[in-house]
Chain A
C-alpha cells in the first residue's frame, strides 16, 4: 500500500503577540491509500493547526510532512499552491463561491489548474453525480440546503482526483439526519471508490464511523486506535 501522507515529528509554534504558542509538539503518523482515518480531539488540541499543515495551507515550524512522497514543509509559496492540488479539502463552512452555481464551483479547482472547459464540464458532472447532486448542478449555493452545499464541497474536493480527501468537521454545520447521510456518503466513497479520507473532528460519533481514529490532545497524538 502506498503511503499518501506521512508526518514525522511535526511541530508548529505561533506567536500570539510576543508569546510563543506551541500548537503542535511533535506529531508523527502516516496514512496509506484507501484508509478512512479520523483525527479526534477537543478544541485547543491542535486539530486545526494540523489540518492547515496537512492541507498545505501553512508550513510547519519543524519536522517533515510528505504528501504523496513530496516534502511540503519547505516549499515556496508557488510550489505549496501546487501541492494543494493533490489535497481534496472539504471545509467546515463549505466555502463555496456564492455567485457561482454548483457546477461552476466544482469546476473551479480544474479551471485554476488550467484544464480545458470541455474536460472540466465532464469531470464536474461526474463528481456531482457521485455525490448524488446530478439534478442540482445549475443551482447557486444560496439555493441549496446545508447538506447539499456540503456535498458540492465534497464534489469540488473529489474532482481533481486528489491523493486524499481532507475534511474539517464535515458534519459540524448539519442537522443529525443530514450528518448521517453525509457520513454514509463518505463511507461509501471510501468503500466503493477507494477514496482515502482524513477527517478532523471533535465529534466522537463521526470518529466512530471511521476505521482508524487518532486522538489528539495538547498538540500531540495520544492514541491511534482501530475501531
Chain B
C-alpha cells in the first residue's frame, strides 16, 4: 500500500470515531501544552536574565569582594577587608583598564516631607560610568568632578510608582543620616546632599547600578561613613576574553593571598543559566509524565480499536494486505493523533504561557527575591520582564515528542494487529 493511501485509510478510521479520537488527542494536547508552557516560560526567564545582564554589565569586568558570591547560600565571610586605595594596586596589574571601589552602607534619606531607608553607594562616578553603560543620567547629569554634596539617584527614587509622581528631582536637597555609637552615647551623623542626576530605568536584573540605588562620590562616602573599608571593587579589563579574566582573577587572588573572591559576570550568568536549565529540565520532566499518561491512553484505545476492527483486519488480509500494511495503518492512526495533538498542544501551550506571563506581570513577582547588597538583582518587577519564548527548536522538540510518544505506544497494538491470522480475524464476531 502506498504511504498516501495508508495515511488516508488511517485518517478515515479516525474520522469514524471522532469523539474517541478527540479524547485520545486531548491527552497528547495536554502533555504537549504543558511542556510548551513550562519550557517557553523558563526559556523566557533565561532570555530576560541574559539580556538584562548583557545590558547592565559588560562581560569585560570582574568583581572583587571579601565574601563568596553566593554567601547567602552558606559561604562564610572573612575578616579580611578591602580598602578604597586598593584600586591603585589593582590598576597596576596587566590587562586592567580601570577599577572602582564600591562602598555600600545603609542610611536614611530625609527630604522633610518624607523619609526612607536606602542603601548608599560611594563610587568614583567617572570610573563607574566607564564600566557600566547603564550608569547614565536621564535627567540632570553625572559630573566628572562632582561636588562633595552631589547625589545621583536611581529611577525608582525619582518616580517610585512609575506614574509621574516625582518623589525626588534634580536640584532637590535631601539629608542623609545614620546613627552610630560612641561608647554608650548615640551620635546621629547628618549631611545635606543635592540631587544632580537621575538614572534612566535599568530593569529587573543586572549587576551594577540598580533602580533603587543612591550614589555619592567615594570621598564623601569615606568621610560620611568614617571608613575606607569597601564592600567590593569592580575591575574593568582591557578585553572580554575569558583567558584575560582568568589571568587577572588569579593575579588578584595572589595579590591578596587568596583572601578575596573574584567573580566574573559570565561565570555568574553561566551558574544561573545552569540552574535554570535544571529547573527547565525538571518542569519538562513533569510535563513529560503527562505525555506518557497520554501515551498509555493511546495504547489502551488502540487495543480496544484492534478488537473492534478484527474483522476489518481480516478483510484487509484476505484482500492481500501483508502484516506490515496492517501495522502501517495502525501506526498511521497514531501518527495522525500525535501530529494533530502536538500542533494543537503547541498553540495551546503558547496561549497558556502568555496568559501566565500577563497574570504575573500584573500581579507582581517576588519582591527582591534576589536582593543583594549591591550589584544584585532587584526583583520588584522581575516577572514583568519575562515573555515566554517559543523557539523553533522547542516547537520541533514538542512536535517530535508528541508523535514519538503516540507511535511508540501504538507499536504493541499495531504489532498484534499485524499478527492476526486472516481465518481467525474473519471468523471474529
Tell me the A residues contacting B by CB distance below 8 Å.
Answer: 52, 55, 57-58, 77-78, 81-82, 84-85, 89, 91, 95, 97, 99-100, 108-109, 111-114, 117, 156, 160
- As a 0/1 sequence over residues 1 to 31 of chain B, the CB contacts with chain A under 8 angstroms (1 = contact) are 1100100010011001000000000000000
A77→B325 CA distance, assembly (Å): 12
Q: Given the known inter-chain contacts A52-B423, A58-B423, A114-B1, please indicate yes or no for A95 contacting B320, CB distance below 8 A.
A: no
A109→B311 CA distance, assembly (Å): 16
A89→B423 CA distance, assembly (Å): 13
A-B contact pairs, 10 of them (CB 8 A): A52-B423, A57-B318, A77-B322, A81-B322, A84-B422, A91-B318, A99-B13, A100-B12, A111-B2, A112-B325
Which of A58, A89, A99, A112 contacts B321, CB < 8 Å? A112
Which of B5, B13, B317 contacts A111, CB < 8 Å? B5
Q: Is the CB of B311 within 8 A of A82?
A: no
A106→B315 CA distance, assembly (Å): 12
**Contacts A78-B324, A99-B13 given; 10 further ones with Cβ under 8 A?**
A78-B322, A81-B322, A82-B322, A89-B319, A91-B318, A95-B318, A97-B315, A99-B12, A99-B16, A114-B2
Q: Is the CB of A81 within 8 A of B9?
A: no
A99→B358 CA distance, assembly (Å): 47
Tell me the B residues contacting A by CB distance below 8 Å.
Answer: 1-2, 5, 9, 12-13, 16, 311-312, 314-325, 421-423, 426
* A-B CB proximity, top 10 nearest: A85-B320, A109-B319, A81-B322, A57-B422, A84-B320, A111-B5, A58-B423, A112-B321, A95-B315, A57-B423
A99→B314 CA distance, assembly (Å): 16
Which of B16, B321, B426 contacts A81, CB < 8 Å? B321
A78→B418 CA distance, assembly (Å): 11
Q: Is the CB of B423 within 8 A of A108?
A: no
Q: Is the CB of A81 within 8 A of B423?
A: no
Q: Is the CB of B323 within 8 A of A77?
A: yes
Q: Is the CB of B320 within 8 A of A112?
A: yes
Q: Is the CB of A78 within 8 A of B323?
A: yes
Which residues from A are CB-within-8-Å of B323?
77-78, 81
Which residues from A are CB-within-8-Å of B325?
112
Q: Is the CB of A113 within 8 A of B320?
A: yes
Q: Is the CB of A109 within 8 A of B426?
A: no
Which residues from B are CB-within-8-Å of A55?
318
Q: Is the CB of A91 within 8 A of B426?
A: yes
A124→B24 CA distance, assembly (Å): 35
Closest residue of B by beta carbon distance from A111: B5
A156→B347 CA distance, assembly (Å): 44
Closest CB of chain B to A170's CB: distance in Å?
A: 16
Q: Given the known inter-chain contacts A78-B323, A89-B318, A114-B1, please indicate yes or no for A95 contacting B12, CB distance below 8 A.
A: no
Which residues from B are CB-within-8-Å of A111?
1-2, 5, 9
A177→B253 CA distance, assembly (Å): 106
Which residues from B are CB-within-8-Å of A81?
317, 320-323
Closest CB of chain B to A192's CB: distance in Å?
A: 25
Closest CB of chain A to B390's CB: distance in Å?
A: 38
A52→B319 CA distance, assembly (Å): 13
Closest residue of A by beta carbon distance from B315: A95
Which of A58, A78, A82, A85 contacts B421, CB < 8 Å? A58
Chain A CB within 10 Å — which of B311, B312, B314, B316 has the most? B316
Closest CB of chain B to A52's CB: distance in Å?
A: 5
A91→B2 CA distance, assembly (Å): 26
Which residues from B are CB-within-8-Å of A52?
423
Closest residue of A by beta carbon distance from B322: A81
Closest residue of B by beta carbon distance from A78: B322
Q: Is the CB of B316 within 8 A of A112?
A: yes
A108→B12 CA distance, assembly (Å): 13
Which residues from A are CB-within-8-Å of B316?
108, 112
A182→B13 CA distance, assembly (Å): 31
A57→B315 CA distance, assembly (Å): 10
Chain B CB within 10 Å — which of A85, A91, A97, A156 has the most? A97
Which residues from B are CB-within-8-Å of A97?
312, 315
A114→B429 CA distance, assembly (Å): 29
Which residues from B are CB-within-8-Å of A84?
317-320, 422
A93→B358 CA distance, assembly (Å): 61
Q: Is the CB of B5 within 8 A of A95?
A: no
Which residues from A are CB-within-8-Å of B314?
95
Closest residue of A by beta carbon distance from B311: A95
Which of B311, B319, B322 contacts A108, CB < 8 Å? B319
Which residues from B are CB-within-8-Å of A58?
421-423
A78→B1 CA distance, assembly (Å): 13
A37→B60 CA distance, assembly (Å): 95
Q: Is the CB of A95 within 8 A of B426?
A: yes
